[in-house]
Structure 1
Amino acid sequence: MERLSPLSYAFLAAEDVDPTSCLVIGSLAVLDGPAPHVDEVRALVASRLPTVPRYQQRIAPSRLGLRAPSWQDVPDLELRRHVTVRQVPAPGGRAEVAALMAEAMAERMDRDRPLWDVTVWTGLADGRWGLLSRVHHALADGVSGTGLYRVVFDSEGPADEPPPTPPGTAPGVPVRSLVAAARGALALGAALLPVTREGLLGPLDGARRYAWTEVGIAETEGVRRELGVTVNDLVLSAISGGLRELLLERGRQPDAHALRTLLPVSSRAPGTAGHPGNEVTLMLSMLPVEHDDPVARVLAVHERVTSLRRAHEPEAGVVLQALAGLLPFPVLDRGLRWGLRLPQQQISTVTTNVPGPRTPLTCLGRPVRHLLPVVPIADRVRLGFAVLSYGDRLAFGITADATSTPDVDNLALEIGDAWRSVLVGR
Structure 2
Amino acid sequence: MERLTPLSYAFLAAEVADPAACLVIGSLAVLDGPPPRVDEVRRVVASRLPAVPRYQQRVVPGRFGLRAPSWQAAPDLDLRHHVTVRRVRAPGGRAEVAALMAEVMAQRMDRERPLWDVTLVRGLSDGRWGVLSRVHHTLADGVSGTGLYRMVFDSEAPETEPPPTPPRAAPGVTRGSIVAAVRGALTLGTAVLPVAREGLLGHLDGTRRYAWTEVGIAETADVRRELGVTVNDLVLAAISGGLRALLLERGREPHPHALRTLLPVSSRAPGTAGLPGNEVTLMLSMLPVEHDDPVERVLQVHERVAALRRAHEPEAGVVLQALARLVPFPVLDRGLRWGLRLPQQQISTVTTNVPGPRTPLSCLDRPVRSLLPVVPIADRVRLGFAVLSYCDRLAFGITADATSTPDVDFLASKVGEAWRSVLVPEQGRPRRDPVGHAPELP
TM class, shorter-chain normalised? over 0.9
Once the 2 structures are TM-superposed, how far is the Cα of residue 156 of structure 1 from its aligned partner? Answer: 1.2
Q: CA, structure 1 residues 174+345, in 2 after alignment: closer, same or farther (shift >3 Å)? A: farther
Matches within 5 A, 1:248-397: 248-397=248-397
Offset at 1:128?
0.4
Residue 147 (1) aligns with residue 143 (2): no
The alignment status of 1:161 with 2:160, answered yes or no, reads yes
For the residue of structure 2 that corresponds to 1:177, the secondary structure is helix
Report percent identity of matched pairs: 83
Per-residue CA deviation, residues 341-389 of structure 1 (Å, 9 max, x unaligned), is 0000000000000000000000000000010000000001000000000
Residue 418 of structure 1 pairs with residue 409 of structure 2: no
Preserved contact between residue 387 and residue 396 of structure 1 (Cα < 8 Å)? yes
CA contact (8 A) 1:66 1:329 kept: yes
Q: What are the equivalent positions in structure 2 for 1:230-245 lying under 5 Å apart?
A: 230-245=230-245
The more displaced of 74-83 and 295-304 is: 74-83
The letter for the 2-side match of 1:390 is Y
Output the CA distance in 1 between the equivalents of 2:221 and 2:185: 35
Contact 1:355-1:388 at 8 Å conserved across structures: yes
Partner Cα distance (2:202, 2:421) in 1: 30
Q: Is the 8 A contact 1:375 1:397 kept in 2?
A: yes
Q: Is the 8 A contact 1:199 1:258 kept in 2?
A: no
Contact 1:385 1:396 in 2 (8 A): yes
2:198 matched to 1:198? yes
Q: For 1:85-164, list aligned pairs within 5 A.
A: 85-157=85-157, 159-162=158-161
CA distance in 1, matches of 2:23, 2:171: 25
Map of 1:40 onto structure 2:
40
The amino acid across from 1:162 in the alignment is E
Q: CA deviation at 1:197?
A: 1.8
Shift, 1:269, TM fit: 0.3
Stretches of structure 1 that go unaligned for 5 or more consecutive residues are: 164-171
CA distance in 1, matches of 2:172, 2:280: 12
Deviations 1:103-132 (A, max 9, x none): 000000000000000000001000000000
Q: Which runs of 5+ in 2 are unaligned?
A: 163-169, 426-430, 432-442
Q: What is the match of residue 167 of structure 1?
A: none
With normalisation by structure 2, the TM-score equals 0.93
Q: Which moved more, 1:77-86 or 1:189-198?
A: 189-198
CA distance in 1, matches of 2:13, 2:74: 23
Distance in 2 separating the partners of 1:202 and 1:249: 19
Change in 2 beyond 3 A, CA 1:173/1:98: farther
In the other structure, the counterpart of 1:58 is 58
Which residue matches 1:14?
14
Please state how far the C-alpha of 1:316 moved relative to its aligned partner: 0.2
Could you tell me how far 1:162 is from its partner in structure 2?
A: 1.7
Q: CA deviation at 1:198?
A: 3.0
Compute the TM-score of the two structures, normalised by the length of structure 1: 0.97
State the alpha-carbon separation in 2 of the partners of residues 68 and 237 from structure 1. Answer: 40
Question: In the TM superposition, what is the alpha-carbon distance from 1:203 to its structure 2 partner?
Answer: 0.9
> Could you tell me which amino acid in structure 2 is paired with residue 24 of structure 1?
V
Cα displacement (A) at 1:75: 4.0
| SS of residue in 1 equivalent to 2:3 | coil
Match of 1:168 in 2: none
- Partner Cα separation in structure 2 for residue 423 and residue 121 of structure 1: 35
Quote how far apart the aligned CAs of 1:146 are. Answer: 0.4
Which residue identity lines up with residue 49 of structure 1 in the other structure?
A: L
Aligned to 1:181: 181
Helix, strand or coil at the partner of 1:191? helix
Aligned mates of 2:217, 2:48 — CA distance in 1: 32
Partner amino acid for 1:20?
A
How many pairs does the alignment contain? 417
CA distance in 2, matches of 1:179, 1:20: 39
Distance 1:177 1:48 in 2: 40
2:72 counterpart letter in structure 1: Q
Paired residue type of 1:8: S
The root-mean-square deviation of aligned C-alpha atoms, in Å, is: 1.2
Cα distance, 1:199 vs structure 2 = 5.2
**Cα-to-partner distance string for 1:43-98 (whole Å, 9 max, x where unaligned):** 00000001110000000001100000000012410110000000110000110000
DSSP 3-state at the match of 1:140: coil
